[in-house]
């Protein structure tokens, strides 16, 4: 296949590129390299199977790359949930407007398939946990979650209006090698600055589901190859959860440290933080995919990869 990957130099995007290349796809990466890291894809750039187009989706001169493509994997977005409450305009532009521009470019180029990475935060503070795909009402509490939900709606509308097909994936916390943000990266940075004390945002009881990135990619590709609705929406995560304090314990054990924990207080870590999150993956399992890792195993793998 000829695949387009927006955000292909990013954390999840670069792992997706690894998978697509290993499967024999010709891949065009469209990435502004603002949050993406060229080192994550450098091993592919000398290959005739991968080409990098350094471009901002909010500007032009990338749309022609979609000509002749079979599928667009749209991963480009602003991944910082916390920052979205500080700079909502940036989140809206880099997520909603960028997604609309991708869909328009697809429509004009005749590309009929899109894969979109959404988020568990579209559910807001769900009253049903584990939370299924059919949960309502969808009331995001962060600009990030609201932006992703708006993109889901746009994609659905384009699919039904222009005979496209989509796969929308609502992720739990995806972690692992090459991640540049999140609780593990934050803790490691703090402990390198001061190994005797670790600041933990909130009360440390925030409890969520985590999944290692390569297991996430396996789930994505399995769903794409085994589902065929006009709009295919699936949760991807593990079947358990761990607290922020437990993640701190795992990390400190791996680093051989015994710092004092200092909690900032409150049941949220920041504005827009969902304190309890676990996705219902029954639909994914019914399709035939069962994650091979749980949250604790995923955290341990991610910690070791980040410390290397």
pTM (whole model) above 0.85: yes
Both 301 and 158 in one domain: the answer is no
Both 139 and 202 in one domain: the answer is no
Between 270 and 197, the more confident residue is 197
- Span 223-249, pLDDT tens digits: 999 999 999 999 999 999 999 999 999
- Span 31-55, pLDDT tens digits: 999 989 999 999 999 889 999 999 9
Angle ∠(53,15,111) on CA atoms, nearest 5: 50
- Span 1-10, pLDDT tens digits: 999 999 999 9
Instruction: Tell the residue number behind the tokens 């299924």, with chain if given.
Output: 132
Both 121 and 187 in one domain: the answer is no
User: Quick check: is 74 in a domain?
Assistant: yes
Q: How confident is the model at residue 308 (pLDDT cuts 50, 70, 90)?
A: confident
Query: Mean of the pLDDT values across residues 272-280?
Result: 95
Mean pLDDT of the chain: 96
- Neighbouring C-beta atoms of residue 308, cutoff 10 Å: 6
User: Quick check: is 285 in a domain?
Assistant: no
Q: Which domain holds residue 263?
A: 176-209+239-277+293-307
Both 169 and 184 in one domain: the answer is no
Q: How much is the pLDDT for 84?
A: 67
Mark whether 144 is an active-site residue. Answer: yes
Q: How much is the pLDDT for 181?
A: 85
Both 263 and 169 in one domain: the answer is no
Both 187 and 114 in one domain: the answer is no
Both 225 and 246 in one domain: the answer is no
Continuous segment of H or E residues that includes residue 146: helix 143-162
Q: Six-digit token pair at 79? A: 């991944």
Q: How much is the pLDDT for 218?
A: 98
User: Quick check: is 283 in a domain?
Assistant: no
The rounded percent of the chain whose pLDDT value lies above 70 is: 98
- Span 151-183, pLDDT tens digits: 999 999 999 999 999 999 999 999 999 998 899
Longest dimension (CA), the chain: 58
- Span 110-136, pLDDT tens digits: 999 999 999 999 999 999 999 999 999
Q: Is 290 exposed, middle or buried (0-12, 13-18, 19+ CB in 10 A)?
A: exposed
**Domains in the chain, number:** 2
Q: How confident is the model at residue 190 (pLDDT cuts 50, 70, 90)?
A: very high
- The answer to whether residue 78 scores a pLDDT higher than 90 is no
Both 145 and 10 in one domain: the answer is yes
Q: Which of 144, 158, 210, 234 is catalytic?
A: 144
């Amino acid at each position: 296949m000829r695949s387009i990957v927006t955000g292909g130099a990013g954390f999840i995007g670069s792992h997706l590129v690894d998978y697509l290349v290993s499967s024999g796809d010709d891949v065009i990466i469209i990435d502004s390299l603002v949050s993406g890291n060229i080192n994550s894809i450098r091993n592919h750039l000398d290959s005739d199977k991968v080409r990098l187009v350094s471009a901002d989706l909010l500007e032009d001169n990338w749309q022609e790359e979609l000509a002749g493509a079979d599928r667009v994997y749209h991963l480009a977005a602003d991944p910082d949930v916390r920052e979205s409450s500080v700079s909502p305009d940036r989140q809206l532009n880099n997520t909603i407007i960028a997604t609309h521009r991708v869909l328009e470019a697809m429509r004009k180029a005749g590309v009929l398939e899109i894969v979109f990475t959404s988020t568990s935060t579209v559910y807001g503070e769900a009253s049903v946990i584990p939370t299924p795909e059919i949960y309502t009402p969808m009331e995001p509490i962060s600009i990030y979650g609201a932006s992703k939900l708006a993109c889901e709606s746009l994609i659905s509308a384009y699919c039904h209006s222009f005979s496209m097909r989509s796969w929308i994936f609502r992720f739990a916390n995806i972690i692992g090698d090459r991640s540049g943000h999140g609780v593990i990266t934050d803790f490691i940075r703090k402990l390198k600055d001061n190994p005797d004390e670790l600041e933990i945002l909130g009360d440390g009881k925030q409890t969520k589901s985590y999944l290692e990135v390569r297991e996430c990619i396996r789930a994505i590709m399995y769903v794409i190859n085994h589902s065929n609705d006009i709009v295919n929406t699936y949760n991807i995560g593990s079947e358990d959860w761990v607290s922020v304090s437990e993640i701190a314990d795992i990390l400190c054990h791996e680093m051989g440290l015994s710092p004092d924990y200092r909690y900032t207080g409150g049941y949220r870590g920041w504005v827009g933080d969902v304190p309890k999150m676990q996705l219902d993956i029954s639909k994914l399992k019914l399709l035939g995919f069962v994650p091979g890792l749980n949250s604790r195993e995923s955290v341990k793998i991610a910690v070791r990869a980040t410390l290397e």
